[in-house]
């Protein structure tokens, strides 16, 4: 039987844990009653832009979770009107699946699942 020093096992375990890749997947759904020209969603310094969402259309993005934080959302409607909001919360150690509903006056978050 070959013995492996405890420090090597601990270091290997810590390195393996730090390489976990948790993600947050969001779906942005346009329930506003008007066309959305652009949606910008920022999470953990990662920025995704979605364009041209008609009523009831959805777009999806996946982020790697590298921080504890929230979504910053900037919606620009076809009319030029803007809506900005910060919603939700993510932290490492979990995979998040969120749905963001863009309404005429708000961005509402619903949690689909947390794994």
CB burial of residue 93 (10 Å; 0-12, 13-18, 19+): exposed
Report the CATH architecture of 21-114: Sandwich (2.60)
Taking residue 70's Cβ as centre, other Cβ atoms within 10 Å add up to: 16
What mean pLDDT value characterizes the chain?
A: 87
State the virtual CA torsion across 16, 27, 71, 110 in degrees, nearest 10.
Answer: -100
Residue-wise pLDDT tens digits, 21-37: 899 999 999 999 999 99
Delimit the domains of the chain by residue range. Answer: 21-114
Q: What pTM did the predictor assign?
A: 0.80
For tokens 């699942």, the residue is: 113
């Amino acid at each position: 039987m070959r013995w492996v020093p405890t420090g090597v096992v601990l270091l290997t375990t810590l390195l393996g844990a730090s390489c976990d890749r948790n993600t947050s997947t969001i779906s942005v759904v346009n329930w506003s009653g008007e066309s959305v020209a652009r949606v910008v969603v920022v999470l953990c310094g990662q920025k995704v832009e979605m364009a041209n969402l008609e009523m009831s259309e959805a777009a999806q993005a996946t982020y790697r979770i590298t921080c504890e934080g929230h979504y910053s959302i900037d919606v620009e409607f076809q009319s030029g009107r803007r809506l900005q909001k910060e919603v939700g919360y993510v932290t490492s150690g979990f995979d998040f699946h969120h749905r963001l509903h863009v309404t005429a006056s708000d961005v509402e978050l619903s949690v689909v699942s947390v794994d």
